[in-house]
């Protein structure tokens, strides 16, 4: 296909996979229905005309950046017309462990590997098939282990390599699998590669990172911003050079254009796979290919673009020119020979880009975590707002219908970087149980692989932090300082932090054998406040629904069919030659007249089980029928 230019039309742009993703996101942020592209008046508009019309909202450079992105992707997926292939990771229920706050076996205030091993029976009993461990490698913990100092060593807070080997062995003995976190967009500045690179500009390691020489050190090489506030560049006077970090000041971006670096990463991955690890979750893996270092063209202050892409500069690396090549190479060299599983964390990518990364014919990744379902349009994580599940229905129905049988979805609502979804949906404590049941029921009956985040199954909600003294996370602390600098009062800034802080997901789990907080040693990196009570009925709900999913491959592989998606309703069907399930959900806190009436009810929100009438769906009620 010829390259698109400003003379091309909106319709032509929409026909390209990447152009469609970008326009869909833009429409979403602008609150415009996607169908607008079908209107000939819109589809025949020249991009140059749109550029002129949108002068107040969109940078001129925006169009250049988009055209470049679209023109760099020449691949188009052929239709996938085989039956879905069966894979263990499609059938598995995953459980994410954030080791620091999972279970503290040696009572030093920090969770540990022995703690995880001691809870394997709990996970097995829940119905978990595979565990994803957030990073457990040696790290100075600027970003709780997402800043790795040594990729082949265990963090002493968490234990030893023997503890890890025991955990892996016992996990396998119990018939479960274990995947690790692979953080290779960046390393810690304390990694020996970075130390060598800094000390000697002629060292081979120098080119493993993004260094830019500059005698003066006054202006950073470009205007890129860091996701954790401020410029994405550190100046090192001793080396008279800048180095790039798109996350914290101690998380230095690796240069994947260097073949030796890629080889080092691949060898390290193979080393863990040789040990028997079953695969990896790959941290911000879509950021690894950086297109040189031009200025970012999308200022953060612009709401439309802010909502569309996020941070200044990100358009130059969120879907970089060599992304597919590097992923394919890593897959060939390390994953494929070990038949290992991969799930990429891919913030900012739309459906088509994700398809190109995960379609099984392409040999890149097995699955991705795409994040567009986590906030409703026009909102970012730090907004204090209520999440409308009608948006989730539309989002998920679109993906279930259009992602394609060559690709497979991950199903999740939160993780260690996000507040708990139940709290985003409602702040009424009386409603949490019903919302959590509804979320669990959708997660176990939609088509894709469920990832439970630790504590979801205990019914945990956001934590009621009282002040910044209780917040330890680098992202929140930096953002708070930035907000104060920008003129917010302490109260205003704290309210913003409270809405979005990652800390909600990181407090120590309140196991029943909980240690009273006064008996715990306080750690400065794991908030160990008054535990919330475990809601055992939610744990029971998870067990029941996981078992239902496992007993019925129909719930795993059968196509998804949307039966009703009108306001506050979500009714869908999963049916194949073996069985037929219909799931009816009330997505709101107001009662709704039920549409399905059948004696074949197999699950109903337990809270409402004693209701004799089935005529009305109660607040957030879910019912599963086997028809």
Binding residues for ligand GLC (CB under 6 A): 143, 146, 183, 247, 283-284, 345, 416-417
Q: What is the DSSP string of 362-386?
A: T-S-SEEE--TTSS-TT--TTS---
Least Å distance, CB 508 to ligand GLC, is 17
Cβ contacts of 366 within 8 Å, gap of 6 or more: 87, 89, 279, 341, 342, 343, 358, 360, 408
Choosing from 329, 345, 473, 475, the catalytic residue is 345
Q: What is the DSSP string of 104-138?
A: -TT-SSS--HHHHHHTHHHHHHHT--EEEEPP-EE
User: Catalytic: 360?
Assistant: no
Cα–Cα distance measured from residue 345 to residue 289, given in angstroms and rounded to the nearest whole number: 14
Cα–Cα distance measured from residue 63 to residue 297, given in angstroms and rounded to the nearest whole number: 10
Q: Rg (Cα) of the chain, in Å, rounded?
A: 24
Least Å distance, CB 228 to ligand GLC, is 8
* CB nearer to ligand GLC: pick between 416 and 607: 416
Residue 194's H or E segment, with its range, is: helix 192-199
Cα–Cα distance measured from residue 244 to residue 224, given in angstroms and rounded to the nearest whole number: 9
Least Å distance, CB 183 to ligand GLC, is 5
Least Å distance, CB 184 to ligand GLC, is 10
Residue 592's H or E segment, with its range, is: strand 592-593
Q: Distances from the Cα of 273 to the Cαs of 168, 279, 286, 333, 342, in angstroms?
A: 11, 7, 22, 12, 12
Q: Cβ(182)–Cβ(228) under 8 Å?
A: no
Least Å distance, CB 139 to ligand GLC, is 11
Cα–Cα distance measured from residue 491 to residue 504, given in angstroms and rounded to the nearest whole number: 18
- Structure token digits, residue 526: 């794991």
Least Å distance, CB 175 to ligand GLC, is 28
- Structure token digits, residue 54: 């949108």
Least Å distance, CB 314 to ligand GLC, is 13
Least Å distance, CB 236 to ligand GLC, is 21
Q: Cβ(213)–Cβ(293) under 8 Å?
A: no
* CB nearer to ligand GLC: pick between 268 and 579: 268
- Structure token digits, residue 42: 């819109």
- Structure token digits, residue 618: 């109660």
* CB nearer to ligand GLC: pick between 9 and 289: 289
Strand partners, 236: 241
Q: b/e per residue, 54-74, with b = 16+ CB within 10 A? A: beeebbeebbebbbbbbbebe
Q: Is 567 helix (H, G, I), strand (E, B) or coil?
A: coil
* CB nearer to ligand GLC: pick between 223 and 478: 478
Least Å distance, CB 345 to ligand GLC, is 6
User: Of 389, 419, 379, which Cα lies nearest the Cα of 590?
Assistant: 389
- Structure token digits, residue 601: 């009810």
Least Å distance, CB 231 to ligand GLC, is 17
* CB nearer to ligand GLC: pick between 20 and 250: 250
Count of CB atoms situated within 10 Å of the CB of 16? 21
Closest residue to ligand GLC: CB criterion: 146
Count of CB atoms situated within 10 Å of the CB of 374? 23
User: Catalytic: 207?
Assistant: no
* CB nearer to ligand GLC: pick between 146 and 608: 146
* CB nearer to ligand GLC: pick between 348 and 531: 348
Cα–Cα distance measured from residue 150 to residue 137, given in angstroms and rounded to the nearest whole number: 7
Cα 521 → chain centroid: 31
Q: Cβ(197)–Cβ(203) under 8 Å?
A: yes
Strand partners, 523: none
* CB nearer to ligand GLC: pick between 157 and 345: 345
Strand partners, 282: 182, 344
Strands 367-369 and 341-345: parallel
* CB nearer to ligand GLC: pick between 362 and 416: 416
Least Å distance, CB 254 to ligand GLC, is 12
* CB nearer to ligand GLC: pick between 316 and 569: 316
User: Of 190, 224, 392, 371, which Cα lies nearest the Cα of 284?
Assistant: 371
Least Å distance, CB 33 to ligand GLC, is 31
Q: Cβ(151)–Cβ(103) under 8 Å?
A: no
Q: 186 phi and psi, to 5 degrees? A: -150, 160
Residue 96's H or E segment, with its range, is: strand 94-97
Cα–Cα distance measured from residue 47 to residue 559, given in angstroms and rounded to the nearest whole number: 37
Choosing from 21, 73, 283, 503, the catalytic residue is 283
* CB nearer to ligand GLC: pick between 98 and 463: 98
Active-site residue list = 283, 345
């Amino acid at each position: 296909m010829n390259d698109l230019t400003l003379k091309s039309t909106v319709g032509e742009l929409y026909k390209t996979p990447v152009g469609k993703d970008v326009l869909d996101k833009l429409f979403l942020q602008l609150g415009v229905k996607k169908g607008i592209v079908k209107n000939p008046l819109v589809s025949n508009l020249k991009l140059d005309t749109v550029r002129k019309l949108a002068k107040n909202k969109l940078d001129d450079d925006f169009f250049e950046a988009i055209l470049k992105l679209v023109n760099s992707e020449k691949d188009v997926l052929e239709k996938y017309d085989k039956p879905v292939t069966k894979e263990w990771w499609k059938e598995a229920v995953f459980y994410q462990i954030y080791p620091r706050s999972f279970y503290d076996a040696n009572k030093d205030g920090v969770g540990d590997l022995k703690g995880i091993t001691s809870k394997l029976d709990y996970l097995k009993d829940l119905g978990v098939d595979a565990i994803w461990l957030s990073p457990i490698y040696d790290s100075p913990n600027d970003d709780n282990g997402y800043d790795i100092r040594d990729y082949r060593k265990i963090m002493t807070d968490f234990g030893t390599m023997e503890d890890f080997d025991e955990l892996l062995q016992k996990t396998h003995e119990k018939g479960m699998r274990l995947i690790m976190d692979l953080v290779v967009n960046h390393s810690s500045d304390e990694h020996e590669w970075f130390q060598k690179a800094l000390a000697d500009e002629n060292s081979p390691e120098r080119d493993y990172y993004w260094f830019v020489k500059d005698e003066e050190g006054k202006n950073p090489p470009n205007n890129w911003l860091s996701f954790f506030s401020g410029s994405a560049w550190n100046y090192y006077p001793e080396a008279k050079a800048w180095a790039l970090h798109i996350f914290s000041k101690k998380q230095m971006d690796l240069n994947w254009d260097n073949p030796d670096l890629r080889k080092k990463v691949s060898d390290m991955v193979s080393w863990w796979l040789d040990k028997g690890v079953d695969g990896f979750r790959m941290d911000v893996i879509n950021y690894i290919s950086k297109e040189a270092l031009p200025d970012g063209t999308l200022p953060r202050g612009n709401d439309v673009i802010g909502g569309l892409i996020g941070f200044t500069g990100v358009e130059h690396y969120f879907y970089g020119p060599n992304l597919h090549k590097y992923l394919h190479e890593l897959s060939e060299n390390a994953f494929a020979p070990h038949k290992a599983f991969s799930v990429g964390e891919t913030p900012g990518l739309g459906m088509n880009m994700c398809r190109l990364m995960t379609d099984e014919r392409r040999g890149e990744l097995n699955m991705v975590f795409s994040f567009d379902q986590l906030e409703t349009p026009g909102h970012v994580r730090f907004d204090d707002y209520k999440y409308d599940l009608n948006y989730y229905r539309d989002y998920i129905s679109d993906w279930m219908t259009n992602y394609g049988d060559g690709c497979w979805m991950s199903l999740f609502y939160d993780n260690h970087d996000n507040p708990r979804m139940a709290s985003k949906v409602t702040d009424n404590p009386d409603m949490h149980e019903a919302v959590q049941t509804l979320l669990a029921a959708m997660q176990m009956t939609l088509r894709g692989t469920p990832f439970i985040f630790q504590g979801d199954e205990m019914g945990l909600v956001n934590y009621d932090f009282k002040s910044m003294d209780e917040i330890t996370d680098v992202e929140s602390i930096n953002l708070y300082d930035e907000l104060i600098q920008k003129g917010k009062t302490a109260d205003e800034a704290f309210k913003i932090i409270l809405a979005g802080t990652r800390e909600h997901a990181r407090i120590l789990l309140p196991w029943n054998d909980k240690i009273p907080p006064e008996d715990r040693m306080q750690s400065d990196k794991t908030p160990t406040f008054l535990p919330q009570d475990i809601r055992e009925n939610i744990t029971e709900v998870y067990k029941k629904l996981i078992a239902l999913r496992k007993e019925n491959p129909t719930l795993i592989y059968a196509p998804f069919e949307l039966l009703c998606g009108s306001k506050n309703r979500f009714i869908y069907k999963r049916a194949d030659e073996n069985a037929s399930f219909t799931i009816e959900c009330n997505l709101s806190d107001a009662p709704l007249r039920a549409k399905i009436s059948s004696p074949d009810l197999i699950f109903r929100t337990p809270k409402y089980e004693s209701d004799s009438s089935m005529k009305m769906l109660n607040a957030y009620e879910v019912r599963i029928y086997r028809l």
